[in-house]
Amino acid sequence: MKTGTLVLGRFSIGIGDRFGLEGRAQLRALKKAQDKGVEVTPVWNKSNREHTLIGTEPSTTRVAAANAVKAEGWTRPFFVDADHIGLKTVDRFVEACDFFTLDVADFIGKAAPDNEIDQFVKAITPHTGTLRHPLLDGELKVSVEELRTFAKKYLYALQEAGKTYVHIKKNKGEGNFITEVSVDEAYDPQTPSELYLFLAGLAHLGIAAQTVAPKFSGKFLKGIDYVGNVAAFAKEFKEDVAVVSIAMEKFALPKELKLSVHSGSDKFSLYPHIHSILKQTGGGVHLKTAGTTWLEEVIGLAADKNTLPIAKKIYALAFDRFEELRKPYETVVEIEQGKLPKPSSVAQWSSDQFVGALKHDQGSKTLDRNFRQLVHIAFPVASEMGDEYRNALISARASIEQNVTYNLYTRHIEPLFVGK
């Protein structure tokens, strides 16, 4: 299979910049990694959901990224990701983006026609049997029976990815974009056998994916650390890396293929485990973070007494619109509404109190995870504030940019890609 001219590279990071002002500060974090001899490719991602919520278009993401790249003299590759799109939503992104995350989670469990299931099973059967890899404890057995169950559950979703892929290819030309296929918003995590068969399916349908985003076990809530069994995740991640490596040997898939972790940001407890597996194998990863750059903006505003009232106003407005803001994110936030601080108390907070409740350092004693998650999904409120918010961002520029660079490098890039 043609792997295309665009290549993502071993390490890449999905970064978000909701208001398009932080690209330079983000690139400075990537330059710090470069100084340590580690190349990490930036991918600015903004989902269809996010564009719709704040009324922006993908072209604005492209312009902000290109301007930041120019201003910082970034000469290495960068990409703009149409994050979590499907056949119905892709067109808005085709021109501005060169990275497409084909999200087919909603199609899992829908049945493909019986004859197509039969054909698929027949085509993939030679690849069933016992799989061996140094990273697997023992071996992985994939039976024809498992293949049939998989086909009933996943073939329709794979076909949907295929249609979207062909549509993009027709519009952009083969090799002119990076493809990711995501099933991370599925109901159940995929087992290593399912991931293996999913990769076999991608190859079978001619989808030249460079990254695949499975659903891992545990909870990946927005902006807070992993909720789940870290040792179990580490085992699962290792098995998935093994499966990707086996699949690349066996199937016609791009040689750059790697896992993509849709982290929802701040999965600090997982980073050392992922880092050590990648170090051990020489494998790569794409890490999607995204939303915490916006939180660093709010932290920057709160830290300055002149702009602290703006941060408090965002919280007060979000508190009153809890249900509406939570709705689009209901599967990825867990906020105990009754435990949220009242806006009347927050109004009395000092800068230090506000920043302490919001800032997420690993092991922080002052972090309020309910408060942080609500602010995380409060960006439509800031967007509606228009110039009031934007002007505040500009006036607190220096401290915000420092926060953004620090957050991205010290909390994410260093532990995951560089190693502490």
Q: How far is the CB of 185 from Zn ion (least distance, A)?
A: 6
In DSSP notation, 161-195 reads HHHHHHHHHHHH-TTSSEEEEE-TTSSSPPPHHHH
**Interface region with Zn ion, contact rule CB under 5 A, candidates 87-95, 180-188, 220-228, 325-333:** 180-188
User: Are 358 and 365 spatial neighbours (Cβ–Cβ below 8 Å)?
Assistant: no
Q: Cα dihedral sign for 215, 217, 221, 226? A: negative
Q: How far is the CB of 103 from Zn ion (least distance, A)?
A: 7
| Among 24, 262, 312, 326, contact with Zn ion (rule: CB under 5 A) | 262
C-alpha span between 253 and 244 (Å, rounded) = 10
CB atoms within 10 A of CB 140: 19
Q: Which is nearer to Zn ion, 184 or 297 (CB)?
A: 184
Question: How many residues bind to Zn ion according to rule CB under 5 A?
Answer: 2
C-alpha span between 248 and 253 (Å, rounded) = 6
State the distance between the two ends of the chain, measured CA to CA, in whole angstroms: 38
Q: Where would I find the H helices in 173-288? A: 192-204, 230-250, 271-281
Distance of CA 83 to the CA centre of its chain: 8
| Binding track, positions 136-175, relative to Zn ion; x by CB under 5 A | ----------------------------------------
Q: How far is the CB of 125 from Zn ion (least distance, A)?
A: 31
Q: Which is nearer to Zn ion, 15 or 340 (CB)?
A: 15
CB-count exposure of residue 18 (10 Å: 0-12, 13-18, 19+):
buried
| Among 22, 98, 184, 240, contact with Zn ion (rule: CB under 5 A) | 184
**Tokens standing for residue 404:** 């953004």
Closest to 319 measured CA to CA, from 335, 305, 296: 335
Q: Nearest-CB residue to Zn ion?
A: 262
Q: Which is nearer to Zn ion, 17 or 83 (CB)?
A: 83
Give the residue carrying structure tokens 């957050």. Answer: 407
| Binding track, positions 355-394, relative to Zn ion; x by CB under 5 A | ----------------------------------------
C-alpha span between 27 and 112 (Å, rounded) = 44
Q: Which is nearer to Zn ion, 48 or 403 (CB)?
A: 48
How many helices (H) and strands (E) would you count in the chain?
17, 10
Q: Which is nearer to Zn ion, 332 or 357 (CB)?
A: 332
Q: Which is nearer to Zn ion, 169 or 262 (CB)?
A: 262
Amino acid 237 reads F
| Binding track, positions 61-80, relative to Zn ion; x by CB under 5 A | --------------------
DSSP-derived 3-state class of residue 219: strand
DSSP element (H, E) containing 43: strand 41-47
**Interface region with Zn ion, contact rule CB under 5 A, candidates 38-46, 184-192, 198-206, 358-366:** 184-192
| Residue 50 contacts Zn ion per CB under 5 A | no
Q: How far is the CB of 288 from Zn ion (least distance, A)?
A: 6
Q: How far is the CB of 189 from Zn ion (least distance, A)?
A: 13
Q: Which is nearer to Zn ion, 17 or 184 (CB)?
A: 184
Sequence-distant (≥ 6) Cβ neighbours of residue 243 within 8 angstroms? 131, 133, 140, 192, 195, 196, 199
**Interface region with Zn ion, contact rule CB under 5 A, candidates 257-265, 332-340, 356-364, 409-417:** 257-265
**Interface region with Zn ion, contact rule CB under 5 A, candidates 179-187, 268-276, 320-328, 341-349:** 179-187
**Tokens standing for residue 232:** 């179990």
Q: Which is nearer to Zn ion, 286 or 372 (CB)?
A: 286
| Binding track, positions 215-254, relative to Zn ion; x by CB under 5 A | ----------------------------------------
Q: Which is nearer to Zn ion, 198 or 251 (CB)?
A: 198
C-alpha span between 52 and 75 (Å, rounded) = 31
Q: How far is the CB of 29 from Zn ion (least distance, A)?
A: 22
Q: Which is nearer to Zn ion, 128 or 263 (CB)?
A: 263
DSSP-derived 3-state class of residue 11: strand
Q: Which is nearer to Zn ion, 127 or 262 (CB)?
A: 262
**Tokens standing for residue 31:** 């330059």
User: Binding residues for Zn ion, per CB under 5 A?
Assistant: 184, 262
